[in-house]
Chain A
């Protein structure tokens, strides 16, 4: 054990406040520099009628970083995850995969649960033997049997919390779970106090509590503790209420100032925190708790949640809540800033607001102290520049250099392979953090061997939240449903059949024999797979007579069938593709027009010289050269492997549902310079780009497309015509997404 660590350990054991200013050496890769239980995430109030508290476990771990030297990975795991699935964290392959330590740029999620969640038998190398003292009181306070009960309880007044806890019994089974979790409690090197600084409770007292709660008299000891806890809260509340509204206003005003002083256009404190953000009753804890004074609301133009159901979980707002309150893991070195809002000057409770470079926000609520400690711990890292702005303490991430015209997270992800895939799946087979997974697909793609397994998720056949069993069930049900569709087609009346044959079947028959015939799966005379391809298309046209069959569909289906090699599964994945992707072979002009309106506008604001050129040519704005790109999603512009990379990047629905349009812009940005320089007319622009098919560099195009998407998303204003580009995909793990201010300019495009 290095001497400094020995000193540190000794100091902390002796209760001496280790002078952090002396600590200049960087932490070891993988070392946990901070952890804290019961840090809350609140779903945006619009998603529910009252503030819901989702407590979770927060860790900050150091990780080697090529640029910064050391970066920090912040991970918040909801208690419910640990509760439902206490072994999730151990199942993480990162846990067994020590080779992860070698990788210089691991994705945050990849190893969120590796060394920090080792069982006692296997202490990690960085362990210093200081047991993490979890605050059992708070554990019980939040370890609630069900969400409904939380709601019920929170609907009561804050002062009746005690009665709630008396009413809530913990059965033996739960206690057992608690215990086993406690034994799996991470061992960490330092800063392990759950409540630190001024708010730190007496450790001795805590241990007493712990033992008493384990002794079978938990209810009694709990209620006593809760009273203690309640006292604190009530007193806080009293202070707050006695202090009159003036202080609140002052607080709000100062927050507003701080935030507006920063470069980001996003957070403003809502002037009346009670009315709109919290729609709960006047007596509900949310509206009376001092925390709520600080309740952030995001500007009107930010995306807080989907008004329409998200792509990958077409259910209810509940799924949005689950997403926002699911595992949150980010590389702090990749963020823009961290802000700390303390409840008052003497408190170490409050909120930490993480802002990404793309102005997405995550608010972590420290109801039980620890905020000062985390701020102090973080401020020791050199890549943060500290700033005090009134009541807000801010740490701005300072990176030595950011490559221009490149997405800042470029290179931070590696291809999703079987290992990464398994890491994201809990023991029931659910994907808990689809956002990070989709992000990795977006940046780095999917290993070929994993396509068959992962495409059904990307194509909305299986929900990410489904379990193994549920998927088996879906598969069976969909198989039967598919057979019924087939029967429907076979049982057509003579008249219907004749029309169907004329309008659909003879076209499909013509196309399937010339679709991807060079592909191994469809090669050769009398290949039975061609008939399967045909059947799927005919059944699709039967199920969706309004779409029928249009040329291009076979091109979109063939790679799916070749990968899944199963008729029914391919049918449903294809249906999902047609539903989710707007670039589908639509029989209607309006769908294509919508795409072209977006593309024109993107070109106008992102590549103005090109836009000016085409707008001067007759029919230039028809963008003829882009039609095939959009219809087949670049299948004829790149070799199959590259085209599928692009498909997957689009299917990931990361930050936009129109990534294909950003790819179009990227191609033009990279290969369209000649067009302007040589003043080419429309015909020759078409010739120019069609002669480039199969000669473009996919990696460069994708990289450019990501950069353009980032550039687009960080713009301060965009025309209203483009406001729909980044809404459907939702904010993922963040509390808020960000879209720039929308300006309606009433340009000529509007009439187009």
Chain B
């Protein structure tokens, strides 16, 4: 039951958060489809994307939850964050308000995820440099102060989009390797091997693996 794109060792759960209109869905679409989607409808509730990537020779399936910028039901946002191994926190470099809201997004992310969740700050719309409202340096400083990874990206041109998603995965993988992320923890956001039991009859329709997941 080897070979093929559906053979992967891990599933990482990501969430994308940030103000409305910063380009969360477009980033996801650029990453999964390698295309810019103009007029991408606003997200209601949550939407999904998946892509299989390779880190250090290991195939990893990214399961990405794309959330609504204006979430009305705080009670359920908890569910989105739960079990996320990575969180992409997005602002729009042309709108300062979206940057100013980062601290509240960060508070949510910290409170609702586990301590090992990798948080990656993305300054989107880097192609609109002429309309820039937030400098690279101040965002970089904010990221460093809060221990976040940071890149400016453009969902339109695709610049740095791949890197943001991959760097997050690399960091998670590193955490697994050095033992700081416990895979057995209930909400690690990582599944080793495509789960045990007959799961995953969705998103790409991959058949469930038959290997023993985690021997411990």
Binding site for B on A (CB under 8 A): 502, 506-507, 510-511, 513-518, 550-552, 554-555, 585-589, 592-593, 619, 622, 624, 627-628, 631-632, 636, 674, 678-684, 686-688, 690-691
Contacts and interface: CB of A to CB of B under 8 A. Distances in A.
A682 B79 contact: yes
Contacts of A507: 20-21, 70
B199 A551 contact: no
A684 B202 contact: yes
Contact of A631 (B20, B45, B47, B79): B45
B48 interface: yes
6 contacts: A516-B41, A555-B41, A592-B73, A627-B76, A684-B200, A690-B46
B198 interface: yes
A280 B41 CA distance: 61
A690 B47 contact: yes
Given A550-B70, A622-B75, A622-B79, A511 B202 contact: no
Chain B interface residue number, banded: 20 to 34
A636 B42 CA distance: 11
Contacts of B83: 683
Contacts of B97: 502, 506
B81 to A, nearest CB: 11
Contacts of B20: 507, 510-511, 551
A627 B45 contact: yes
Nearest to B200: A684
Nearest to A551: B70
A555 B82 contact: no
Contact of A555 (B44, B45, B74, B198): B44
B48 to A, nearest CB: 6
Contacts of B63: 687
A482 B131 CA distance: 36
A585 B82 CA distance: 25
B57 interface: no
Main secondary structure of the interface of B (DSSP, over half): loop
Contact of A517 (B39, B70, B76, B78): B39
Nearest to A515: B41
A732 to B, nearest CB: 33
Contacts of B45: 624, 627-628, 631
B197 interface: yes
Interface in B159-216: 197-203
Contacts of A586: 72
B72 A592 contact: yes
A679 B63 CA distance: 19
B74 A514 contact: no
B62 interface: no
Contacts of B76: 619, 622, 624, 627
B55 interface: no
Contacts of A585: 72
A684 B73 contact: no
B47 A551 contact: no
B134 interface: no
A688 B202 contact: yes
Interface of B: 13, 20-21, 39-42, 44-48, 63, 68-70, 72-76, 78-79, 82-83, 97, 197-203
Contact of B202 (A517, A589, A691): A691
Interface centre among A502, A507, A514, A681 (most CB of B within 10 A): A514
A680 B44 contact: no
B203 A691 contact: yes
Given A506-B97, A507-B20, A622-B76, 18 more contacts: A511-B20, A514-B39, A515-B42, A551-B20, A551-B44, A551-B69, A552-B44, A555-B44, A589-B72, A593-B75, A619-B76, A627-B45, A628-B44, A678-B198, A681-B199, A682-B79, A684-B202, A688-B202
A680 B198 CA distance: 8
Contacts of B82: 619
Contact of B203 (A518, A552, A555, A687): A687
Contacts of B48: 686-687, 690-691
Given A589-B73, A619-B79, A684 B42 contact: no
A518 B200 CA distance: 32
B134 to A, nearest CB: 16
Contact of B201 (A632, A674, A682, A686): A674
A687 B65 CA distance: 10
A483 to B, nearest CB: 29
A667 to B, nearest CB: 15
Contacts of B44: 551-552, 555, 627-628, 631-632, 636
A636 B201 CA distance: 21
A516 to B, nearest CB: 8
Contacts of A680: 199, 201
A727 B42 CA distance: 35
Nearest to B82: A619
Contacts of A684: 199-200, 202
Contacts of B42: 510-511, 514-515, 551, 554
Contacts of B200: 684
A514 B40 CA distance: 6
Contact of A686 (B41, B46, B69, B73): B46
A498 to B, nearest CB: 13
A636 B200 CA distance: 23
Contact of B72 (A506, A550, A691): A550
Nearest to B198: A678
Nearest to B13: A683
Contact of B75 (A551, A554, A587, A589): A589
B39 A518 contact: yes
A328 to B, nearest CB: 42
A570 to B, nearest CB: 20
A228 B82 CA distance: 84
A30 B75 CA distance: 59
Contact of B46 (A511, A624, A678): A624
A453 B20 CA distance: 36
A511 B20 CA distance: 9
Contact of A687 (B40, B68, B73, B202): B202
Contacts of A516: 41
Contacts of B21: 507, 510-511
A613 B102 CA distance: 38
Contacts of B39: 513-514, 517-518
A410 to B, nearest CB: 31
A392 B160 CA distance: 83
A582 to B, nearest CB: 15
A589 B74 contact: yes
A235 B72 CA distance: 70
A679 B197 contact: yes
Contacts of A510: 20-21, 42
Contacts of B68: 551
Nearest to B79: A619
B133 to A, nearest CB: 13
Contacts of B41: 514-516, 555, 636
B112 to A, nearest CB: 12
B61 to A, nearest CB: 12
Nearest to B186: A618
B73 A627 contact: yes
Contacts of A511: 20-21, 42
Interface centre among A517, A592, A627 (most CB of B within 10 A): A627
A198 B46 CA distance: 73
Contacts of A627: 44-45, 73, 76
A487 to B, nearest CB: 28
Contacts of A631: 44-45
A682 B97 CA distance: 34
A337 to B, nearest CB: 46
A491 B20 CA distance: 28
Contacts of B203: 687, 691
Those 4 A-B pairs whose CB atoms lie nearest each other, nearest first: A510-B21, A517-B39, A628-B45, A687-B202
Interface centre among B83, B202, B203 (most CB of A within 10 A): B202
A622 B76 CA distance: 7
A392 B73 CA distance: 56
